[in-house]
Amino acid sequence: MNMIKTAVLLAGMTALFMVVGFALGGQQGMLLAFVFAAGMNLFSYWNSDKMVLRMYNAQPVDERSAPDLWHMTAELAQRAGLPMPRLYLIEDDQPNAFATGRNPENAAVAVNTGLLRILSREEVAGVIAHELAHIKNRDTLIMTVTATIAGAISMLANFGMMFSSNRNNNNGFGAIGTILMMILAPLAAMVVQMMISRTREYAADRAAGEFTGNPMWLATGLDKLAQGARAIPSNAAEHHPATAHMFIVNPLSGARMDNLFSTHPNPENRIAALLEQARSMGVGAAAPQPTQAGPWAGGTPQRRGPWG
């Protein structure tokens, strides 16, 4: 099903890209945009994960450099029925994380250092489980490719806004139509991203509760992440807003409400759904008693997960 959604998404984004090309250069511009979009789609399928990781200067870690975090991820991946993903750290004070990769065999999980500083071991497990759920559901391909194409549409629209007033308009839209297209095309791409992200976040939250056996770990973690993301801006995310929908909580400033222009569901709504899941699992809605040190603290690898 996700492969069909990916194909539909790519077709829609390609069509939008072609419309922008038509607004800039008429039929010739539309043809050039189609050729460029086809090549970009192919490139994005194979390389979009590397591009996003490079945008955030994500550094790979392994069993030696981050033993506890690595073993926690490996155990959760086993519980989820997934191969061990590549693991990355991003030097960013904002607490956040995302997953990327075209399939489970080529997936990666990236965690901000700010997240590791404020979450307990159990809460980190909940976040990692959420990202593994995205991998298992194959959300990572559609979310990463969407980020790449949406960014390209925005850049092309900005380029058109710069030069549209300095040339004759022979594209069929006219000057006003071109300006409107330059404004509406990035908005359309953004809405597509939001629709995808918001529906998939609830599914990933629920799967994370199943993987860890305690939805409360992610619930308390989400509360801390949402507060941290509002208080601590991420310069990298602000420079790459097309990737915002990939993160577990919205990394951009000023987007708290669960409305058309938020890339994520309202954190309170997500936490409420996790509380309900915890009650249905017989876990109880009381917050867990987290350990004080995160899984990255200390030099001794912990072979067993926080679930004991």
What are the residues facing 58 on neighbouring strands?
none
Phi first, then psi, for residue 66 (nearest 5°) are: -145, 70
Give me the count of residues in the chain: 308
Q: How far apart are CA 160 and CA 142, in angstroms?
A: 27
DSSP per-residue codes, 257-305:
SSSTT-SS--HHHHHHHHHHHHHHTT--SSPP---SS-TTSSSS---S-
268 flagged as catalytic: no
Q: How far apart are CA 301 and CA 296, in angstroms?
A: 9
Does residue 215 contact residue 140 with C-beta atoms inside 8 Å?
Answer: no
- Which residues are within 8 A (CB) of 280 and not within 5 positions of it... i.e. 6 or more apart? none
| Both tokens assigned to 147 | 């980020």
Q: How far apart are CA 116 and CA 69, in angstroms?
A: 10
The string over 59-89, giving b where at least 16 C-beta atoms fall within 10 Å of a residue's C-beta and e elsewhere, is eebeeeebbbbbbbbbbbbebbebeebbbbb
Q: How far apart are CA 137 and CA 121, in angstroms?
A: 24
Report how far apart, in Å, the C-alpha atoms of 122 and of each of 83, 163, 171, 183, 276 are.
Answer: 21, 52, 57, 44, 19
Q: Quick one: which H or E segment has residue 97? A: strand 97-100
Q: How far apart are CA 213 and CA 72, in angstroms?
A: 14
- The residue annotated as part of the active site, out of 131, 201, 210, 276, is 131
Active-site residue numbers?
Answer: 131
